[in-house]
Structure formats: structure tokens, C-alpha cells
Chain A
Amino acid sequence: MNAIAPVAERNGALLGLEDERALMELATRPCESGRREFELDVPDMRCANCAGRIETALARVPSVDRVRVNAVRHHISLEFDPNRATLSDIMGAVSAAGYTPVVTPRADDDPALKAEHRTQIKRLGVAGIGMMQVMMFSIALYVGPGTDMNAFYESLMRWVALAFTTPVVLYSAAPFFRNAYICLSDWFDPRGGNQSLSMDVPVALAIGIAFMASVSATVSGSGHVYFDSVTMFTFLLLGARLLEQSSRLRLARMDNWLAMLPQRVNVARDGVNLDVPITQVRAGDIVRVAAGDRVPVDGIVTDGASEVDEAALNGESTSVSRQPGDQLFAGTLNVSQPLAMVVTAQVSDTRMAAIARLAQRATLDKPPVAALADKVARHFVTGVIVLALATYVTWQFIDPGHALWATIAVLVVSCPCALSLAMPTAMTASATALRRTGFIATRAHAIESLARITHVVFDKTGTLTGGKPQLMHVEPLAELTADHCKRIAGALEDRTNHPLSDAFDSNADGAVASDVRIHAGLGVAGTVGNARYRLGSAQFCRINRPPRDRTCTTIYLARETTVGMTPLAEFAIRVWLRDDAESTLRELERLSVTAEILTGDGATAAAEVSTALGAVPYSATMSPEAKLARVQDLVRGGSHLMMVGDGINDVPGLAAASVSVAPADGTDLAKSRSDGILLGRGLGALPRAIAIARRTRSIVRQNMTWAIVYNLTAIPLAAAGLVPPWVAAIGMSVSSLGVTLNAARLSRGEQAWR
């Protein structure tokens, strides 16, 4: 069966009777009256419009009901009656609409997790509604004492506030009590379990004590009520927790790259067509990628020409054209024409897998500052409880009637959340902003180190340069005209995929080279017409003359004769700077970061690049050792240095720099040694990343300063009995809300860099 066959036909083959039964077990769950719930992924559903079309298509399948299409998660869930429709019918309807249904049990769609998420939203909603009501009655109570409100109405208001607070405490705040209980029973476990207290302990204590005290005040009709503080405290903490959890889930889903790829692939292996699971696709297989399909594994185009959307890999929305010889990457989308490719890497070795692994590494290790904040916050919790106890004991000697309220004020006013939220919110927001700008931090310290950068060292070839090389001039050396030589060179280069081959027109009026042999690092030899030619370096063509233009890369064309070589022409090819190289350097200058070029190329070519970029200091003809020595010199001189390099010769330097960055098309070795990867084709993400990192640093500092100053002022005041309950509650809420909103500025402000 041919892989370019209609999608529906492929799925028909996929779902035999056996498969149908197996899938029914695997992917459906029973629900009311014999119906079953079915969940499937549609990886190529990209927008709300696709979702609408799929919904319409599914509505036509008999008995299908309650279709829920989630365009963000590429996910559909529906209910159907197994007696009236089969899974093939449903999947067929999706394929007929032009999409690829995929059935994968996915961790984040785990029903337990989903139920948990729903419960959390319910808890938050109940706390929010309760809070609004309690606030209204509390305002009446605050204002009350000065007006003609008599004791009966005051007592009534308190009872109503109690009625609204009870579900908030018993239902919404339940997780805090449960976690605090678990944490405390660990703490008191004689076998020495977990020796640190979580934030839930003071939170549960404050909510519990404040609620119980308010209840007793309501019953006895004396003292203060704290119902407003209790509900607000619960609502804000639940909200913060939900936000944090959903951002973590989003990150986890980003790593779920495998779910984006087709699950079965049609391959031609040793001349036989096979339908194999994606994990069994091997290097050397020929895979056809239909228009509109995702490329399953990395490979090289052998046939066809098409536009490929690489947004999944590098976030760039413009498609790039791919022709025979070009690389295709797993996860990219073939937009316009069918392609055939030869597989170069198994699914676990693709570039997408490598990037996912690197990004995951960053989430595994904790940046030192965050680790410090964690440690402080941990002791902070114990400290607050000790302080609260001390307050209670001290007040017993001064004024026992005031002791409980001062203790609660200490517990409520102290804001461990400001400390513990300050770092993760800023880091998450910053990682998101960085990824959107085209920079992936692959190590946790990258964001902190980026902010300190004072010096950037660039490698030249492949980093500052890129794109299509241009043929500057042709100098005939023998009887053939320049045009004729270009045609021969074009025919020879047409059969190679060397970076410089783009300099020649590929379809030079039908001249075809045969018997082409590529000599790695030297050039190419082949027969055009009835003579044999060589195209390549001076050494390869046995030519010994100084190049006319030293600023260009020079290659030669020669004809092989029985006695040796006849030189025919000299080509001067210019490799261009990346489009945004100059603007990037100017941006860096604006951020007062010094740039420098280290290159293995000759001095003249390096000087040319340096001048084009505005007199950037450079060092030419640098060996990898010399690059390393230069980097070490700068680091010893006190510079915080970023090294940007793509090649194997840059690897020692990358390891020595404070932050090392490799472009996505750099060598794998360079990428694995770097702290960050530039996803796009340009360098523009570099200054943006530095700017974001600096903003992150200042926001983290603001947050930490605020959290420390706030707690240092508020807690002594509260312990002294000077903070009225409502001020304590507002202080706590404003301080944790302020920290969160401050961090959110990072992801919101990213439009400014677009």
C-alpha cells in the first residue's frame, strides 16, 4: 500500500476486527446506559476552525453525542453507543474530514488528574463566591459600631457570615488541612520521616484557629470575627496554587512531543512496503510524507519539492522550501506537496527528541537562587510558628484577652507565599517568554547567568553567517567563457548538497553531469558532455595562484586531461551574514554587552565581517585551543561571557563560558554542551533573551525584597498587637498577589520584543 493513499484508507487498514476489539478495551470507558466514552487525539488539528469541522463531521456519525473538541490539546472526547457505531466509523469520520485520528493513552488526560483539576476549580469557585458574600457582611460589620446598628443585627450578620464561611473552610480549604496533617504526622514520626514543614502547616493553622476563634466569638457575641480574612486567605492561596499547577502541566505537555507524531508509518525497506509503528522506523528506510502530514522522523528528501512548516521545532511561522538533499525534521509539517525521504535517525534520536531532552534537563536541576529561596522559606515556616507561639505566651503575661488575636494576626499576616511564589512564578514566566522569543534554556542556571552577561563571543561561520551564498565573480582562466564555466559548475553542484552549491543556478539550461563523485573536504568531480571536470579547492584542482579577492571563499573549475589539469575558471563566492546579525550586534551594544568575533578563517575575511557589523573586535585564524584560551582570559578578567558557536571547534570554548549558546542547526555536540539553544534561523533572539533574563532578575529581586521587607515589618507589628485583623488579611493578600502579578509582567511584556 502506498503511503500517499488517502488517509481514510490507511485507517481502514489500521482498524481490523481485532484492532477494533483491542481499542475498545484500551481507549474507551463505559458511561451511562451502555454507552461508552472515547478519547482520541488529532495532532494535525491546528485551530478552532479545524475543531469546528471535526465536530460537524462527528455529529453525522450515528449515536455520537457530547462531542468535546479541545483545540489547544488536540484532543477529542465523545460518547457513543457501541451497538450503533464502531470506532472505525468515528475515526473514519475524522479522517474523511481530512485529519489524522490517533489513539494514545496520555498521562495528562488521566481521568484521576482531570477529576482533580475539576475539584480544584470547584474549590476555588466556592471560595470565591463565599468570599464575596462574606466581604459584604464584613463591611457592614466594620462600619456598624459607629452607626445605629444594634447588637441583634450585628449578631445576625456574624451568623450569616459564619454560614457562608463554613463551606469555604470545610470544602475549599480541605486540601490545606489534609496536607498539613500528613506533614505534621511525618514530622512527629519517631522513625524520622520528612524533617521540614510545608507551607500548608501555618496556612492550616491560621485558617483553623481564625475560624474556630471567630465561631466562638459569634456564639459568645464578643471579640473579633475573622470570616473575611479566612475566606480571602483560602481563595487567594487556592488561586495561586491552581495557576502554578496549570503552568507546570503546560510545560509537561510541551515535552510530550511523541504525541504529535503519527503512530504508524508506511516505509519502503529493501524494496518492500511495510506499515510499522513509528518506534520501528530505522535509518535507511524510505518514507513518503503526504502533503498535510507531519514528518515522522528526521530524514533527507530524495524526491519531490515542498514547503515545510517548522513552527513546531523553532516557533517560526514562515514555511521553508525543501528540495532533494535537504534535511527534514520530525514534527515539522509538510504543507504543499508530497515528499519522499530517506530516514537518517530513529524517532528517539531526532532533533525534536534531543531538544525535548535538553529542555527537560533544565527543569530537573534547580537554579541556586531558587534552592536558596526554598531553604529560607522552609525555615521561615518553622520560624513563624515559633514566633506565633512566643506571641501567645508573651501576651498571656500582658493581656490574656488579646493573646489569641495577636497570635492569629502573626499567622495571617506572615506571608510565606510571597517568598515561595517569588521564584517559581518568575522563572516559569521567564522560561515561557524565552521560548516564545526563540531561545530554549537547557540548564537551570542559564536564566540567572544570562542576566549577568557583559561579553558575547561569536564564532563566524555558521553563527554570524548563514543563508544562501552568492557568486561574486567568475574569472575565466582558459578559452571557455565565464557563462560556460558557470553552466558546467552548476551541473556539477546540482548533484551535491554542499552549502556552497547554492551559489550556482541549479538548472543551468539542461546541462547534466553524470558519474559525479564527491570528495569530502575537497570538491566534486563529474562528467559533463564528453569531458571530465573538477570543481573545488585550489589543491583539488591542482592550481597554484593567489586568489583575486581574499575576502571571498574561492573555488576553482578544472578539466581533467591525460596529462593533468587544465584550469578553467576561478569563482569567488561570498557567504552572507545572517540578516539580523547587524541589528543583533547593535541591540547587544544597546544592552552594553561587548561583542567579539573569534574565527578559524583568514584575517581578511574576518576583517570584512567585522567592518560590515560596525567594527566589531575580532581574532582570526583561531584554533579551538586558541578560542578556549581567549575565552578563559576574558573570564579571568572578570567578564561574564556568553559564547555563541555551532561547530565542533567551538566546543571547548562553549564549556568554558558562563553561558554557551548554540544555534538549532549547529552540530549536536555543540548543542549538548550549551546552556541554551537558539531555535530560529536568526540571532535576534539573543539580545531579547538577555533583556528578558535581566527583567527576570530585577523582578525576582523586587519580589524577594518585597517579601522580606513586608514580613520583617508586618510580623513584629502583628506580634505587638498593632495590626487589626482586616489589615493583616489585606496585607497578606496584597503581598502574595503583588508578587504573582509582578512575575506575570514578564510573560505579558513579551510583545514589546516582537
Chain B
Amino acid sequence: MEMILLLIPVSVVVIGAAIAAFIWAVDNGQYEDINRAGDSTLFDEPVDPHSKPHSS
């Protein structure tokens, strides 16, 4: 039973992290369009909007 004294604080920390991660995800717009991410695996070319821009 004493184990609970350790496990409960651990769970509080884990849940806090989960909520923080969730809020971060929402703020990054991950829930704006939930269909496209699944389709993106079907592309021929890798789609990476963060790739280094080509000089023009």
C-alpha cells in the first residue's frame, strides 16, 4: 500500500506532462485538419515544409 505514496505523485507529474503536450499540440495547429496527416504517407515525394529553402 505504501507504494501508492510514490505512485500518486508520479502520476500527477505524468498527467501534467500529458496536458502540457496536448496544449502544445493544439497551439501548433495539429487539430485543425485531422484528415490530411494520414493521407500524407501516400505521397511520392517527402513533404517537408521545414526543409532548407533553395536559393533563387
Partners in one complex: yes
Asked whether A160 lies within 8 Å of B53 as measured between CB atoms, the reply is no
Cα(A55)–Cα(B45), bound, Å: 11
A48 at the interface (CB under 8 A from B): yes
Asked whether B43 lies within 8 Å of A72 as measured between CB atoms, the reply is no
Chain B residues within 8 Å of A153, by CB: 1, 4
Neighbour of A121 across the interface among B4, B26, B42, B55, CB < 8 A = B26
A375 at the interface (CB under 8 A from B): no
Chain A proximity of B39: nearest CB distance (Å): 3
Interface set, chain A 46-88, CB cutoff 8 A to B:
47-49, 51-52, 55-56, 58-73
Q: Which chain B residue has the least Cβ–Cβ distance from A80?
A: B53
Asked whether B54 lies within 8 Å of A69 as measured between CB atoms, the reply is no
Asked whether A61 lies within 8 Å of B15 as measured between CB atoms, the reply is no
Chain A proximity of B21: nearest CB distance (Å): 10
Residues A60 and B53 in contact in the complex (CB < 8 Å), given A122-B23, A153-B4 = yes
Q: Which chain A residue has the least Cβ–Cβ distance from B56?
A: A62
Cα(A71)–Cα(B39), bound, Å: 10
- As a 0/1 sequence over residues 26 to 49 of chain B, the CB contacts with chain A under 8 angstroms (1 = contact) are 110101110110011011010111
Q: Which residue, of B39, B47, B48, has the highest number of chain A Cβ atoms within 10 A?
A: B47
A525 at the interface (CB under 8 A from B): no
Neighbour of A66 across the interface among B19, B31, B49, CB < 8 A = B49
Cα(A61)–Cα(B26), bound, Å: 27
Chain A residues within 8 Å of B26, by CB: 118, 121-122, 125
Asked whether A60 lies within 8 Å of B36 as measured between CB atoms, the reply is no
Chain A proximity of B40: nearest CB distance (Å): 6
- Give the size category of B's interface with A: 20 to 34
Neighbour of B29 across the interface among A61, A68, A129, CB < 8 A = A68
Cα(A133)–Cα(B49), bound, Å: 37
Residues A65 and B36 in contact in the complex (CB < 8 Å), given A122-B22, A129-B19, A133-B11 = no
Chain A residues within 8 Å of B1, by CB: 149, 153
Chain B proximity of A162: nearest CB distance (Å): 12
- As a 0/1 sequence over residues 1 to 26 of chain B, the CB contacts with chain A under 8 angstroms (1 = contact) are 10010001001100100110011001
A274 at the interface (CB under 8 A from B): no
Interface of A is mostly: helix
Asked whether A70 lies within 8 Å of B56 as measured between CB atoms, the reply is no
Cα(A126)–Cα(B45), bound, Å: 37
Question: What count of chain A residues pass the 8 Å CB interface test?
Answer: 38
A504 at the interface (CB under 8 A from B): no
A156 at the interface (CB under 8 A from B): yes
Chain A residues within 8 Å of B36, by CB: 48, 51, 69-72
Chain B proximity of A141: nearest CB distance (Å): 13
Neighbour of B53 across the interface among A61, A118, A129, A167, CB < 8 A = A61
Asked whether A48 lies within 8 Å of B39 as measured between CB atoms, the reply is yes
A164 at the interface (CB under 8 A from B): yes
Chain B residues within 8 Å of A72, by CB: 33, 35-36
Asked whether A68 lies within 8 Å of B54 as measured between CB atoms, the reply is no
- As a 0/1 sequence over residues 143 to 171 of chain A, the CB contacts with chain B under 8 angstroms (1 = contact) are 00000010001001000100110010000
- As a 0/1 sequence over residues 720 to 745 of chain A, the CB contacts with chain B under 8 angstroms (1 = contact) are 00000000000000000000000000
Cα(A67)–Cα(B40), bound, Å: 14
Q: Which residue, of B22, B36, B56, has the highest number of chain A Cβ atoms within 10 A?
A: B36
Asked whether B56 lies within 8 Å of A60 as measured between CB atoms, the reply is yes
Neighbour of A67 across the interface among B11, B33, B49, CB < 8 A = B49
Cα(A236)–Cα(B38), bound, Å: 27
Cα(A254)–Cα(B4), bound, Å: 53
Asked whether B47 lies within 8 Å of A52 as measured between CB atoms, the reply is yes
Cα(A49)–Cα(B36), bound, Å: 9
Cα(A549)–Cα(B23), bound, Å: 76
Asked whether A70 lies within 8 Å of B32 as measured between CB atoms, the reply is yes
Cα(A61)–Cα(B54), bound, Å: 7
Residues A71 and B33 in contact in the complex (CB < 8 Å), given A48-B40, A125-B22, A129-B19 = yes
Neighbour of A48 across the interface among B11, B42, B49, CB < 8 A = B42
Cα(A55)–Cα(B51), bound, Å: 11
Residues A59 and B22 in contact in the complex (CB < 8 Å), given A72-B33, A133-B15 = no
Residues A65 and B49 in contact in the complex (CB < 8 Å), given A129-B15, A153-B1 = yes
Residues A62 and B51 in contact in the complex (CB < 8 Å), given A51-B36, A70-B32, A71-B33 = no
Neighbour of A55 across the interface among B31, B47, B56, CB < 8 A = B47
Cα(A443)–Cα(B34), bound, Å: 33
Chain A proximity of B16: nearest CB distance (Å): 10
Chain A residues within 8 Å of B43, by CB: 48-49, 52
Chain A residues within 8 Å of B48, by CB: 59
Cα(A47)–Cα(B4), bound, Å: 51
Asked whether A163 lies within 8 Å of B49 as measured between CB atoms, the reply is no
Chain B proximity of A391: nearest CB distance (Å): 36
Chain B residues within 8 Å of A63, by CB: 53
Chain A proximity of B26: nearest CB distance (Å): 5
Q: Which chain B residue has the least Cβ–Cβ distance from A51?
A: B36
Cα(A749)–Cα(B54), bound, Å: 49
Residues A71 and B35 in contact in the complex (CB < 8 Å), given A52-B47, A122-B23 = yes
Q: Which chain B residue has the least Cβ–Cβ distance from A58?
A: B49
Cα(A218)–Cα(B10), bound, Å: 22
Asked whether B4 lies within 8 Å of A156 as measured between CB atoms, the reply is yes
Chain A residues within 8 Å of B23, by CB: 122, 125
Chain B residues within 8 Å of A156, by CB: 4, 8
Residues A163 and B12 in contact in the complex (CB < 8 Å), given A59-B48, A118-B27, A126-B19 = yes
Cα(A118)–Cα(B26), bound, Å: 6
Cα(A126)–Cα(B16), bound, Å: 10
Chain B residues within 8 Å of A67, by CB: 49
Chain B residues within 8 Å of A70, by CB: 32-33, 36
Name B residues whose Cβ lies closer than 8 Å to a Cβ of A. Answer: 1, 4, 8, 11-12, 15, 18-19, 22-23, 26-27, 29, 31-33, 35-36, 39-40, 42-43, 45, 47-51, 53-56
Q: Can you list 18 contacts pairing A with B, beta carbon distance less than 8 Å? A: A47-B39, A52-B43, A55-B47, A55-B49, A56-B45, A61-B53, A64-B53, A65-B49, A68-B33, A70-B32, A70-B36, A73-B33, A89-B56, A118-B26, A129-B19, A153-B4, A160-B12, A163-B12
Name A residues whose Cβ lies closer than 8 Å to a Cβ of B. Answer: 47-49, 51-52, 55-56, 58-73, 89, 118, 121-122, 125-126, 129, 133, 149, 153, 156, 160, 163-164, 167
Additional A-B contact list (18), CB under 8 Å, known A72-B33, A72-B36:
A48-B39, A52-B43, A52-B45, A59-B49, A62-B55, A65-B50, A68-B32, A70-B33, A71-B33, A71-B35, A71-B39, A72-B35, A73-B33, A121-B31, A125-B19, A129-B15, A129-B19, A153-B4
